[in-house]
Copies of this chain bind each other. A is one copy, B any other.
Amino acid sequence: MTYCCALRLKEGLVFISDTRTNAGVDHISVFRKLYTFGREGERMICIQTSGNLATTQAVIGHLRNHLALNQEPNLYSANTMFEVASLVGQILRKVIADVTDNTHEQSNYFCSLLIGGQILGEDMQLYNIYPQGNFICATSDTPYFQIGESKYGKPILDRALSYDIALDEALRCALISFDSTLRSNVSVGMPLDTLIYQKDSFIIPKGKRITEEEPYFQDISKQWSETLKKGLQDLPIPNEDFFK
């Protein structure tokens, strides 16, 4: 499985992806699921992938191929992030249609993608692309999307995240969402790829890979466990009614 999460906030975009893929529990591998495209000063596009690895790699492969061959439309000729999302959705639909010949059961080949970024002249956008190639767009009411094993890490996002939150706090919130998921589900695994984009910077961030040895992640994971344990102990004690 996979867990990817992307936030579209007032100050910028935050992306985190795990790297575990598996074909059965006895066949796990590390594959990057976070890709960046762009031109400094003009556009930044980040794509995260979940689902069938051949499908997701084919989509990224076609996108790169279009760029390499200067084939239109491509990620750099799209005028808006909406056109970017439409292009990726069309390619995804075609990849799945090709491999299934439009006749077989398609769901085995499904994948989902998150695409966030900014093109000069418009606001940042974040899209969640479904296997059918259609998509939805994040708003200030719902400033985040998840794909893959999303349930374990959803409660902390639902409680602590808002559109106005500072980027560094949002990053910590998303990392805790990942830590919770990693602890409860072995199909999601380290290392994690993170990327933070600051609004209107039009810089293509390198991002940071977090390995199991990363002291910062170890620190927040440990401190968070202590916070939760102490927080539970500090909750008011239930009255006798519960014990009758």
Contacts and interface: CB of A to CB of B under 8 A. Distances in A.
Interface of A: 149, 151-156, 158-160, 167-169, 171-173, 176, 180-181, 183-185, 194, 196, 198, 205-208, 216, 219-220, 223-225, 227-229, 231-239, 241-244
A184 B158 contact: yes
Contact of A242 (B169, B184, B194): B194
Contacts of A235: 172, 176, 220, 223-224
Contacts of A194: 242
11 contacts: A152-B152, A160-B229, A173-B232, A176-B232, A176-B235, A206-B244, A207-B244, A216-B236, A223-B235, A227-B231, A227-B234
Contacts of A223: 231, 234-236
A216 B149 CA distance: 32
A228 B160 contact: yes
Contacts of A196: 242-243
Nearest to A201: B243
Given A154-B184, A168-B238, A231 B231 contact: yes
Contacts of A228: 156, 159-160, 227, 231
Given A151-B184, A154-B184, 19 more contacts: A151-B185, A152-B152, A152-B154, A159-B229, A160-B228, A160-B229, A168-B237, A168-B238, A168-B242, A169-B232, A172-B232, A172-B238, A198-B243, A205-B243, A205-B244, A219-B236, A223-B236, A224-B235, A231-B231
Given A155-B183, A160-B228, A228-B156, A171 B205 contact: no
Q: Is chain A's binding surface mostly helix, strand, loop or mixed? A: helix
B208 A181 contact: no
Contacts of A216: 236, 238-239
Contacts of A241: 208
A220 to B, nearest CB: 5
A225 B159 contact: yes
Of listed A155, A176, A198, residue having the most chain B CB within 10 A? A155
A236 B169 CA distance: 10
A122 to B, nearest CB: 23
Of the listed residues A168, A220, A231, the one surrounded by the most CB atoms of chain B closer than 10 A to its CB is A231
A158 to B, nearest CB: 5
